[in-house]
Amino acid sequence: FFAATRSREDVMNLLLDRGANVLIVNNKGQSVYSIACSHFESELVQRIKQIEKEQQQQSCQERNDNLNGWVDYSKTHPDGNIYGDLDLRFLGRPLSESDLVKDGVVNPTTKEARKGNFARNNPSAARKKKGD
């Protein structure tokens, strides 16, 4: 996730080349794919999508679970804050009128929007962070 959130295409490609698991949803509800959609060019996004399919197929052959190989930390470790770049497949709440969905990503971000967006959406969490 760190390579994706920092738009490190070189590191992301290296991780994918080495077999990194992309079937993970972080505690915010973001997947590697949902972050990649707003941080990388379409070629790398499509590569991630293809690797998702391959890893799901492999997982289904190896074990029989209802998550198709996904590890979803948003269900077990949510922090209650509001984020962008959420994966619609794992949203866990109904869409609201203010939600924007593009390519399966809820409230995709831009580089400009990411600056200060967390503090605007979560003022009490931002105040706590300053007080630490």
Q: Which CA distances in Å does 122 have to 7, 72, 91, 126, 130?
A: 24, 22, 18, 6, 13
Run of H or E residues at 39: helix 32-39
Residues 33/49, Cβ–Cβ less than 8 Å: yes
pLDDT computed for residue 130 by the predictor: 53
Q: What is the pTM assigned to this prediction? A: 0.82
**pLDDT at residue 108, as a whole number:** 92
Q: What is the pLDDT of residues 35-61, one digit of tens each?
A: 999 999 999 999 999 999 999 988 877
Residue ranges in the chain whose pLDDT is less than 50: none
pLDDT for 18 equals 97
Q: What per-residue confidence (pLDDT) applies to 80?
A: 87
Cβ-based neighbours of 114, under 8 Å, separated by 6 or more: 84
pLDDT in tens, 112-122: 777 666 676 77
